[in-house]
């Protein structure tokens, strides 16, 4: 029996109950992929002043990936047109310049606008469903931290670096929580 068959009737936490496309065009159900993991969703861009944060994200991935942290890059071109590339161009840029090994999803709209906001970010930014956490994405490299239980823990602005004491402490605390049985 495949994982998809085993988990098709499982109820997933709201933050992970989405099917998205990976940067290489494969469909992935976030719950199946990240069940029991700590997930850091980051809307990324290749031509932004915050783009060097890819380095810190990769460092977090290397340091904590084996402990259950999943970094998920979510490219978006909604802020100053700073992610104009194709999926192949984004993948090449990330590997060549930052050695990115963490998961990358396909380019989507992450902010509310006249364009369609992707369902994952509709949820992550919902102020009613996530009081005190949900708020509009204002720029590239904003981060949403999701615990092992699939609950959204925090929303960090662009200026919070992945290697900052604040971010590392939050990741370590989330990793220390035991996954639900």
The residues assigned a catalytic role are 48
Any idea of the CA torsion for 156, 158, 163, 168, to the nearest 10 degrees?
A: 0
Write the CA distances from 98 to 53, 57, 87, 134, integer angstroms: 9, 9, 16, 29
Distance CA 154, CA 86 (A): 30
Contact 22, 8 (CB under 8 A): no
Distance CA 61, CA 98 (A): 12
What are the strands of the beta sheet with 69-75, ordered from one edge? 103-104, 69-75, 38-44, 143-146, 152-156
Contact 121, 110 (CB under 8 A): yes
Return the residue matching tokens 């919902």: 126
């Amino acid at each position: 029996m495949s994982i998809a068959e085993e988990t098709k009737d499982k109820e997933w936490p709201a933050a992970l109950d989405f099917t998205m496309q990976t940067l290489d065009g494969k469909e992935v159900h976030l719950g199946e992929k990240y069940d029991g993991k700590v997930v850091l969703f980051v809307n990324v861009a290749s031509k932004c002043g915050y783009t060097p944060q890819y380095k810190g994200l990769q460092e977090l991935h290397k340091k904590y990936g084996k402990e259950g942290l999943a970094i998920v890059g979510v490219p978006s071109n909604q802020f100053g047109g700073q992610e104009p590339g194709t999926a192949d161009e984004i993948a090449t840029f990330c590997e060549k310049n930052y050695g990115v090994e963490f998961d990358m999803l396909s380019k989507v709209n992450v902010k509310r606008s006249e364009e369609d906001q992707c369902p994952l970010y509709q949820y992550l930014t919902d102020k009613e469903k996530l009081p005190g956490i949900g708020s509009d994405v204002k720029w590239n490299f904003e981060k949403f931290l999701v615990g092992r239980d699939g609950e959204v823990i925090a929303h960090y602005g662009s200026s919070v670096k992945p290697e900052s004491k604040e971010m590392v402490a939050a990741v370590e605390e989330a990793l220390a929580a035991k996954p639900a049985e």
